[in-house]
Amino acid sequence: MHAPAIPRILVVDDEVDLAQLIKHALERGRDATVDIVASGDAALEAVKASPPDLVLLDLNLPVVDGTDVCRRLRAHPATATLPVIMLTARTAEADRVSGLDLGAHDYITKPFSLRELAARVRAVLRRRRAEAGDATARYSGRHLTADFDAVQVTVDGVPVRLTRREFDLLRCLVENRHRVLSRDRLLERVWGYTTSIETRAVDVHVGRLRAKLGVAGPQIETVVGLGYRFVEQPPT
């Protein structure tokens, strides 16, 4: 059975020690993977390059403050609904109301309990999955159609026979579309944390998958030095 994609969280905080504590708390038990940036401009660049599943956002940030980061994320269609939890020392009711009005999914004041933070993160991610429903169970593009629950893949209406590993690889890429997935991360998600398999196995399977998908194969892009990314094909 295909394992659900591990949520990826971006922590935006210039307090390095605190950010590392948050990372440790959230990655414990492999419930999430966490990336850290320390400024607002770096956060915007990171989200643009590879949108996470959730952003933990400090408000008092260098270069671009957290409220402006949230405002810019909400103004862009690709990140308008991206879950954001604000982490801040601003405890006034007006600040909380302002943050929620900007579109934050939750607002947590410092100092806070790491256990409570982890619970709040899980709650937001659960709501996000519930809102999405079974949208990730199906994909329909210009050439490629996939029903992951029914284990059916077609290209221009013609069924494509995939091995289980190729099918799981395609599903993982589609579920994380527009995100760059490293070879190591694909090994974790598709091969189940198998450490005895070399990353070369990912390249071989991607090559075979592209060949079987034919005209839809180019939707799996190689990002040199980083990994692979599934992208939409524009309509004709």
Question: Would you list the domain boundaries of the chain?
Answer: 8-132, 135-230
Contact 187, 199 (CB under 8 A): yes
| CATH class for the domain made up of 135-230 | mainly alpha
What span, in angstroms and rounded, lies between the C-alpha atoms of 98 and 108?
A: 13
Handedness of CA 49, 202, 168, 25 (dihedral sign): negative
Per-residue model confidence (pLDDT) at position 178: 84
| CATH class for the domain made up of 8-132 | alpha beta
Per-residue model confidence (pLDDT) at position 3: 46
Per-residue model confidence (pLDDT) at position 50: 85
Per-residue model confidence (pLDDT) at position 197: 57
pTM here is 0.59
The pairing of beta strand 227-230 with beta strand 8-12? unpaired
Task: Give the residue ranges of the chain where pLDDT is below 70.
Answer: 1-5, 29-31, 130-136, 192-199, 234-236
